[in-house]
Amino acid sequence: MTLISENIKWLRKQKGLTQGGLAEAIGIKRSLVGAYEEGRADPRLHNLTKLAELFEVSVDALISKDLLNLDKEDLKFEEEGRRWSGDKLRVLSLTVDQEEKENIELVPQKAAAGYLNGYADPEYVVELPKFRLPSLPRNGTYRAFEISGDSMLPLRSGTIVVGEYLSDWNEIKNGQTYVLLTESEGVVYKRVFNYLKENKKLFLVSDNRSYAPYEIAGKDLLEVWAAKAFISVDFPDPAASNDLSFEKLADVVKSLQKEVNKLKAK
């Protein structure tokens, strides 16, 4: 066995994952995990990165260090914004289609509470509804969340927000919208301001200003998904978006009709 094969096997067991569970978590076949652990194949860069993120170690450590004999503290990410405590390591469970392409799993409103407990469980994730959007870049990992309430108007309750997985929380950009999985608030969709480097906190703002902004501690974060698209059955109201009442809009239409009639009469 090679150093990397021994590291993968040991880290998998530390996570309490079977070979099948590890394969599902990073979106590959179980037989490929077996080949990695037996030294018959080495992970390509794409899968190597996924393994490093899953095990919360650097790629360099995974391929060049004897992790079995390192102190547990050395396995943690040193950068803030990844994870502050070693006993709550993040596991991103994924599903793939018959062509080995990642699905977009949908977390409906009624499943949001359960997602807090099952987000790292491949058996839970595999039961979620799945779909694909061909317009999204293929190099990302995506998940969809059905939002509730009116705190992010004009996106109404029931709108589905598609987010791209963000592995490095330091990359959260101020003023952008994200779906956050947190220990204290569950699943929330907010506009986020990043103060992790300064005081290990995020500032969350609703687009509906009747809701007060609030802070959450970085240690409460479990997952971060950058909003990339939304799906809604509610079409935008042009009158509302342009501060026009229906009466004013009707007056505009009548005025246009008069102009058209004048042109016809010439």
Per domain, the residue ranges of the chain are: 3-75, 104-231, 241-266
> In this predicted structure, what is the pLDDT of residue 229?
94
**104-231 architecture in CATH?**
Ribbon (2.10)
The whole-number average pLDDT for the span 165-172 is 86
In this predicted model, which residue has the larger pLDDT, 84 or 262? 262
Contact 32, 100 (CB under 8 A): no
Whose tokens are 């969340």? That residue is 145
Enumerate the H helices of the chain as residue ranges: 3-15, 19-26, 30-38, 45-55, 59-64, 112-118, 122-125, 196-199, 238-241, 246-265
Question: Across all residues in the chain, what is the average pLDDT?
Answer: 81
| Residue 222, SS3 per DSSP | strand
Ranges 60-64, 142-146, 189-193: which has the least confidence: 60-64
Question: Residue 134 is which amino acid?
Answer: P
Judge whether residue 63 has pLDDT over 90: no
228-261 pLDDT, tens digit per residue, is: 999 998 876 655 545 545 566 566 666 766 776 7
Q: What is the pLDDT of residues 64-78, one digit of tens each?
A: 788 877 654 444 433
**DSSP code of 93?**
-
Same fold? 3-75, 104-231: no
Q: What is the pLDDT of residue 236?
A: 65
For residue 147, what pLDDT is reported?
A: 95
C-alpha triplet 180, 183, 184: angle, nearest 5°: 95
Residue 96 DSSP label: B
What pTM was estimated for this model as a whole? 0.60
Q: In this predicted model, what pLDDT tens digit does every residue of 116-150 receive, in sequence order?
A: 888 777 778 888 999 988 888 888 889 999 999 99
Closest CA to 141 of 60, 259, 226: 226
Q: What is the CATH number of domain 3-75?
A: 1.10.260.40
What's the Cα-to-Cα distance from 157 to each of 64, 79, 128, 207, rounded to whole Å? 49, 36, 20, 13
Indicate the burial class of 33 (C-beta count within 10 angstroms; 0-12, 13-18, 19 or more): buried
Task: Find the mean pLDDT for residues 21-33.
Answer: 91
